């Protein structure tokens, strides 16, 4: 394995060099789907380039519920094969990225007239565990009223019958995407953010892909034998650029999450609860917060590019929380942050978005560009395998997929059994440099084994705070250019600790300025961009 650099320092040189190559494969889109394909293809020895128009995971893959799950609700739609497939996949993803995937027990309260009766839930969870091959000691439990209240005292007791308690996994979707891309870089893959694909042509069996570098305002043209469109909500737009669209294939559904201070919704476990209109929502404790979501409403493609929540979305979630939990009534001003994602779903005429299957689908154009859409974060590896098997075949090659065995960047020397031991060692290392971090959990799950690099940076660069060393690490090793991307997708601080941003931006901007050679006007612009985005996360409109 050979490590390419993954930062903005030699970007133009490396882009120029890549213009002269003929790639086996170009992947459009740096969400989880594109990232998985990049890793699968490069680990099989394919010379692969990924182009992302904004930041990695800036589309749907940074805006999900952040669960690696089989999708219990899909049992209601009799999607047994989907549940089996992604359910089994959870264990593989956990094994490959044990620092990023956190096992969680979810509590599903049962109410009179709720989605599930006790016997139904018992059968559904048994089937769910069986389909996903859950280990015996981790299988579901069904609680009576008293045990349920003991487990989750915040629940509304009126009409409560009991609860189901079952296994899922939590992750950080944006970091998972990024670490998969970093793992692919170690297999000689090339990946660029802020490089927007503008035109696609094919001649003499070669794809010519023109992309625009929005940081440096320069166009580049790359060549490849195979082309994959993994652009999620933008799948049809890329198909149009390829002149390969007879009719639209994708419809979009908007999903909003809100973030509350944990003290305002002090749940002890993640809870999967009924909404007022008989859908289901997650409430998930994380850091010092609880996040809740999601909505599921049709999103017209003609709407604004950056999806935002409106007051109706927020009220819908708050009303459902207020009806399920016995806590002081939550209002709009309790929302400290939010995110809004768009599900790219395969159009099914006459169905509501919530009824459309979450299965993935391949669309192969006449000129052989492969589009892949639909699917789940959890099933990214299997989707990648399906696409790369096809590409390897098209290239008359025979390399087999082995991503089930590839450890994801940040998981060096970490496995499912030693997570706590590793955390203790890292805590001692932080204490050695007199940093008694109460943020160890966050740091471990964000960076895994790479935290030792951050600690070394703290020592060698004489930084006084962890956030400075984090910024240095992300600029040098995670292709970070914008402070907004640091606070949003590299660290999630904009979501879970927005109150710290003003203070921390002052600490980190000198590092951006020094390492990326930015002048004070450029820095001012980037700070304003960050603060404007932060404001939007709690500024809800009426439309």
Ligand X SMILES: Cc1cc2nc3c(=O)[nH]c(=O)nc-3n(C[C@H](O)[C@H](O)[C@H](O)COP(=O)(O)OP(=O)(O)OC[C@H]3O[C@@H](n4cnc5c(N)ncnc54)[C@H](O)[C@@H]3O)c2cc1C
SS3 222: strand
CB of 339 vs ligand X, minimal distance in Å: 8
Which of 8, 143 has the CB closer to ligand X? Answer: 8
Tokens of 508: 């980190």
Contacts of 43-46 with CB under 8 Å at 24 or more apart are 43/184, 43/187, 43/402, 43/403, 43/406, 44/388, 44/392, 44/397, 44/399, 44/400, 44/401, 45/399, 46/388, 46/391, 46/392, 46/395, 46/397, 46/399
Is residue 380 within 8 Å of 57, Cβ to Cβ?
A: no
CB of 301 to ligand X, least distance (A): 13
In the complex, minimum distance from the CB of residue 378 to ligand X, in angstroms, rounded to a whole number = 4
Which tokens belong to 392?
Answer: 């390897």
> Which lies closer to ligand X via its Cβ, residue 170 or residue 423?
170
User: What contacts 510, CB < 8 A, 6 or more positions away?
Assistant: none
Residue 445 CA to residue 335 CA, distance in Å, equals 24
Q: How far apart are CA 67 and CA 224, in angstroms?
A: 34
- Nearest approach in angstroms of CB 390 to ligand X is 17
Q: Which residues pair with 51 in a beta bridge?
A: 28, 192
Neighbours of 2 (CB within 10 A): 7
Residue 235 Cβ, how far from ligand X at the closest point, in Å?
Answer: 8
**Which is closer to ligand X, CB of 106 or CB of 401?**
106
Q: Which is nearer to ligand X, 52 or 179 (CB)?
A: 52
State the nearest-atom distance from the C-beta of 59 to ligand X, in Å: 2
How far is it, in rounded angstroms, from Cα 47 to Cα 18? 11
- DSSP type of residue 56: T
Name the residue nearer to ligand X (CB basis): 200 or 467.
Answer: 200
Question: Phi, psi (5° rounding) for residue 249?
Answer: -110, -20
Of 81 and 413, which has the nearer Cβ to ligand X? 81
**Three-state DSSP class for residue 250:** strand
Compare residues 224 and 509 and give the one whose CB is closer to ligand X.
Answer: 224
Q: Which residues bind ligand X (CB under 6 A)?
A: 28-34, 51-54, 58-61, 64-67, 69, 196-197, 230-234, 238, 255, 294, 341-343, 375-378
Report the residue number, 249 or 423, with the smaller CB distance to ligand X: 249
Residue number with CB closer to ligand X (213 or 439): 213
* Pairwise CA distance, residues 84 & 242, whole Å: 35
CB of 508 to ligand X, least distance (A): 24
Q: Which residues of 444-482 are buried (b: 16+ CB within 10 A; e: fewer)?
A: bbbbbbbbeebbebbeeeebeebbbbbbbbbbbbbbbbb
By C-beta, is 231 or 497 nearer to ligand X? 231
Least Cβ distance, residue 436 to ligand X (angstroms): 33
Longest dimension (CA), the chain: 71
Measured from the CB atom, the residue of 281 and 511 that comes closer to ligand X is: 281
* Shortest reach from residue 46's CB to ligand X, in Å: 19
**Closer by beta carbon to ligand X, 376 or else 472:** 376
323, with CB counted inside 10 A (0-12, 13-18, 19+), is: middle
Give me the least distance between CB of 395 and ligand X, in Å please: 23
319/475 Cα distance (integer angstroms): 41
Taking alpha carbons only, the member of 463, 461, 507, 462 closest to residue 483 is 507
Cβ-based nearer residue to ligand X, 230 or 466: 230
CA distance 282 to 169: 13
Q: Give the shortest CB-85-to-ligand X separation in angstroms.
A: 12
Residue holding tokens 């042509």? 201
Q: Are 146 and 92 in contact (CB under 8 A)?
A: no
Q: Give least dist CB 75 to ligand X, A.
A: 15
* Spatial distance between the Cα atoms of 503 and 46, rounded to a whole number of angstroms: 45
Residue 45 CB, shortest distance to ligand X, in Å, is: 23
């Amino acid at each position: 394995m050979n490590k390419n650099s993954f930062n903005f320092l030699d970007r133009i040189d490396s882009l120029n060099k890549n213009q002269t190559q003929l790639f086996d494969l170009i992947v459009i889109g740096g969400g989880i789907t594109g990232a998985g394909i990049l890793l699968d293809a490069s680990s099989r020895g394919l010379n692969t380039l990924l182009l992302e128009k904004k930041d990695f995971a800036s589309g749907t893959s940074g805006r999900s519920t952040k669960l690696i799950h089989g999708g219990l609700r899909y049992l209601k739609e009799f999607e047994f094969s989907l549940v089996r497939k992604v359910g089994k996949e959870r264990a593989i993803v956990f094994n490959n990225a044990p620092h990023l995937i956190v096992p969680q027990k979810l509590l599903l309260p049962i109410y009179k007239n709720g989605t599930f009766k006790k016997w139904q839930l018992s059968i559904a969870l048994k089937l769910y565990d069986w389909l996903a091959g859950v280990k015996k000691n981790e299988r579901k439990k069904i609680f009576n009223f008293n045990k349920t209240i003991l487990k989750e005292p915040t629940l509304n007791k009126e009409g409560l019958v009991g609860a189901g308690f079952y296994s899922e996994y939590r992750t950080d979707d944006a970091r998972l995407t990024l670490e998969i891309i970093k793992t692919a870089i170690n297999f000689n893959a090339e990946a660029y953010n802020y490089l927007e694909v503008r035109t696609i042509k094919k001649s003499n069996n070669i794809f010519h892909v023109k992309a625009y570098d929005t940081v440096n305002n320069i166009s580049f043209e790359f060549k490849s034998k195979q082309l994959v469109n993994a652009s999620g909500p933008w799948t049809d737009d890329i198909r149009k650029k390829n002149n390969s669209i007879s009719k639209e294939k994708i419809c979009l559904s908007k999903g909003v999450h809100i973030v509350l201070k944990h003290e305002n919704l002090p749940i002890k476990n993640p809870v999967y609860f009924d909404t007022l209109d008989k859908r289901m929502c997650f409430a998930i404790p994380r850091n010092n917060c609880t996040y809740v979501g999601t909505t599921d409403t049709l999103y017209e493609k003609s709407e604004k590019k950056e999806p935002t929540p409106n007051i109706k979305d927020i009220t819908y979630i708050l009303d459902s929380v207020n009806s399920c939990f016995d806590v002081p009534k939550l209002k709009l001003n309790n929302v400290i942050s939010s995110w809004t994602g768009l599900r790219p779903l395969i159009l099914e005429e006459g169905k509501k978005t919530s009824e459309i299957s979450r299965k993935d689908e391949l669309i192969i154009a006449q000129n052989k560009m492969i589009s892949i859409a639909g699917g789940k974060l959890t099933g990214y590896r299997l989707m990648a395998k399906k696409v790369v098997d096809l590409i390897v075949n098209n290239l008359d090659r025979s390399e087999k997929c082995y991503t089930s065995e590839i450890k994801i960047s940040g998981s060096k020397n970490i496995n499912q059994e030693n997570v706590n031991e590793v955390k203790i060692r890292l805590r001692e290392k932080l204490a050695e440099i007199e940093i008694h971090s109460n943020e160890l959990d966050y740091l471990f799950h964000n960076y895994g084994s790479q935290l030792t690099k951050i600690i070394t940076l703290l020592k060698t660069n004489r930084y006084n705070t962890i956030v400075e060393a984090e910024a240095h690490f992300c600029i040098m090793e995670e292709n970070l250019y914008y402070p907004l991307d640091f606070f949003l997708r590299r660290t999630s601080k904009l979501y879970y600790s927005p109150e710290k941003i003003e203070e921390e931006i002052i600490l980190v901007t000198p590092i951006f300025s020094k390492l990326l050679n930015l002048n004070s006007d450029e820095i001012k612009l980037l700070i304003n961009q960050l603060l404007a985005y932060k404001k939007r996360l709690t500024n809800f409109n009426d439309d």
